[in-house]
């Protein structure tokens, strides 16, 4: 059955024919069409959702499958489950569990790969964020190999801090293996950031977060990443991690092509307020949708969903639906080197679609997601 919707950029009703999991043709649609259609939304950073913690090696396959279905209801057709800093065994077991689910579940193909965020991050309070200090350590090619083996080769995105002497060599190796390296949870100097980019780093993880509360006003690791046009930037546009003023600044500094919306969602996302787990740590979801470590009150991921992220991007900086959805479709695909997903409703593109409405107040409602077998 063809996909019918309004192209957010052109404003015209279109009918998309699909064959073999790819877009075969795009023609003007006849008859009433009252929803927008975009490529399927992609989340590069999601630690858990709908009560399921991807950092728990004992998360049941059926529960992982359910969490994917709930994310589809928010417009996300593909995701990169994210495993954060922990002991080597815990991280390896979590990746092994996710890899098994990816192979076995009917909707496992929605997991394009895995994002490993840590343990090679700054040990300092502030930049370390909610990651447990006891497990922070220096980068290691050997440890990467072991984690990649546990993940069945599925690690596709790695966040690290370039403040370690070992970082450039590790980045070069990881990139040579086809993995995207992102700078994050860092207190790195300008020269360390430059060395990381020269070694192959191409992204910044949730830029503006995982940072000290106060930094030098001009010479700091946030500014150095903001102005570097070689780096994509993941942004948590929830109004909590980034206030609207900084979100506008970051979106304007990185521009339409280099900004990427991520949720950084954790298990409490799409749940009622209460106590949940993030790996070995307890987190609490408050009624105002803040997720914090119970032990320290630090932010610990988000309760954000991608539909709300796109809605906030339109509200905070006047983005159109077309521009905002690019930040969740073609941009993350381009950053990850997914050539058959990096366009915006082009012929032969993978036929993943998100159909959605926008009400008079700018609210986004997802009507349907379509996931191809590619």
Examine the pLDDT at 365 and tell me if it is beyond 90. Answer: yes
Least confident of 66-80, 87-101, 239-253, 286-300: 286-300
| Crossing angle of the two packed helices 141-150 and 88-104, in degrees rounded to 10 | 30
pLDDT at residue number 208: 97
Q: What is the pLDDT of residue 144?
A: 98
Model pLDDT, residue 123: 98
Looking at residue 295, its pLDDT comes to 87
Provide mean pLDDT across the span 49-70.
98
As a whole number, mean pLDDT of residues 61-79 equals: 98
Pairing of strands 76-84, 52-53: unpaired
Range of weakest confidence among 85-94, 185-194, 293-302 = 293-302
Domains contained in the chain, CATH given: 40-339 (3.20.20.140)
Q: What is the pLDDT of residue 237?
A: 98
Of the listed ranges 148-162, 226-240, 290-304, the one predicted with least confidence: 290-304
Structure confidence by residue, pLDDT tens digits, 89-107: 999 999 999 999 999 999 9
Q: Is pLDDT of 297 > 90? A: no
- pLDDT for 280 equals 87
Nearest CA-CA partner of 308 in 316, 298, 300: 316
Residue 1 binned pLDDT confidence (cut-offs 50, 70, 90): confident
Q: Is the pLDDT of residue 229 over 90?
A: yes
Per residue in 135-189, pLDDT (tens digit) is 999 999 999 999 999 999 999 999 999 999 999 999 999 999 999 999 999 999 9
Residue 219 has pLDDT above 90, yes or no: yes
* Rg for the chain, CA atoms, rounded: 20
Quickly state the pLDDT bin for 339 (edges 50, 70, 90): very high
**Residue 74 banded pLDDT, cuts 50, 70, 90:** very high
Neighbours of 252 (CB within 10 A): 12
Q: What is the mean pLDDT of the chain?
A: 97
Predicted pLDDT at 373: 85
Instruction: Report whether pLDDT(47) > 90.
Output: yes
Give the model confidence (pLDDT) of 106-115 as tens digits.
999 999 999 9
Q: Work out the average pLDDT over 215-243.
A: 97
pLDDT for 179 equals: 98
**Cβ atoms of residues 346 and 326 within 8 Å:** no
- Looking at residue 268, its pLDDT comes to 97
pLDDT band, very low/low/confident/very high, at 374 (cuts 50, 70, 90) = confident
* Predicted pLDDT at 81: 98
- Averaged pLDDT for residues 9-22: 96
Position 73 pLDDT exceeds 90: yes
Q: Are 264 and 302 in contact (CB under 8 A)?
A: yes
End-to-end CA distance of the chain: 17
Instruction: Please give the pLDDT value at position 103.
Output: 97
> From CA 122, how far away is CA 128, in angstroms rounded?
5
Q: What's the 3-state SS for 164-232? A: CCCHHHHHHHHHHCCCEEEECCCCCCHHHHHHHHHHCCCEECCCCCCCCCCCCCCCCHHHHHHCCCCCE
Compute the average pLDDT of residues 331-349. 96
């Amino acid at each position: 059955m063809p996909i019918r919707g309004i192209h957010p950029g052109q404003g015209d009703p279109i009918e998309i024919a699909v064959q073999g999991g790819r877009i075969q043709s795009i023609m003007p649609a006849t008859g009433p069409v009252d929803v927008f259609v975009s490529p399927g939304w992609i989340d590069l950073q999601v630690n858990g959702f709908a009560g399921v913690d991807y950092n728990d090696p004992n998360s049941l396959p059926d529960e992982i499958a359910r969490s994917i279905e709930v994310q589809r209801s928010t417009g996300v057709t593909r995701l990169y489950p994210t495993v954060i800093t922990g002991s080597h065994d815990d991280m390896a077991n979590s990746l092994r569990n996710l890899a098994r689910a990816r192979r076995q579940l009917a909707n496992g193909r929605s997991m394009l790969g895995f994002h490993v965020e840590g343990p090679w991050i700054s040990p300092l309070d502030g930049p370390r964020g909610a990651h447990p200090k006891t497990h922070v350590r220096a980068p290691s090619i050997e440890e990467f190999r072991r984690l990649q083996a546990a993940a069945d080769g599925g690690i596709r995105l790695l966040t690290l801090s370039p403040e370690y002497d070992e970082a450039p060599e590790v980045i070069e190796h990881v990139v040579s293996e086809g993995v995207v390296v992102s700078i994050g949870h860092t207190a790195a100097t300008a020269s360390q950031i430059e060395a990381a980019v020269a070694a192959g780093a191409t992204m910044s993880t949730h830029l503006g977060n995982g940072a000290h509360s106060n930094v030098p006003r001009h010479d700091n690791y946030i500014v150095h990443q903001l102005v570097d046009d070689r780096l994509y930037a993941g942004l948590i546009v929830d109004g909590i991690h980034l206030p609207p003023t900084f979100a506008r600044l970051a979106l304007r500094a990185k521009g339409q092509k280099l900004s990427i919306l991520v949720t950084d969602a954790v298990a409490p996302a799409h749940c009622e307020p209460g106590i949940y787990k993030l790996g070995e740590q307890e987190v609490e979801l408050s009624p105002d949708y803040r997720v914090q470590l119970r032990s320290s009150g630090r932010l610990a991921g988000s309760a954000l969903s991608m539909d709300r992220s796109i809605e906030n991007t339109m509200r905070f900086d006047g983005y159109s639906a077309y521009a905002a959805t690019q930040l969740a479709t073609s941009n993350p695909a381009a950053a990850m080197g997914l050539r058959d997903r990096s366009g915006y409703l082009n012929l032969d593109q993978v036929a993943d679609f998100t159909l959605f409405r926008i009400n008079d107040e700018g609210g986004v409602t997802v009507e349907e997601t379509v996931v191809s077998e590619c």
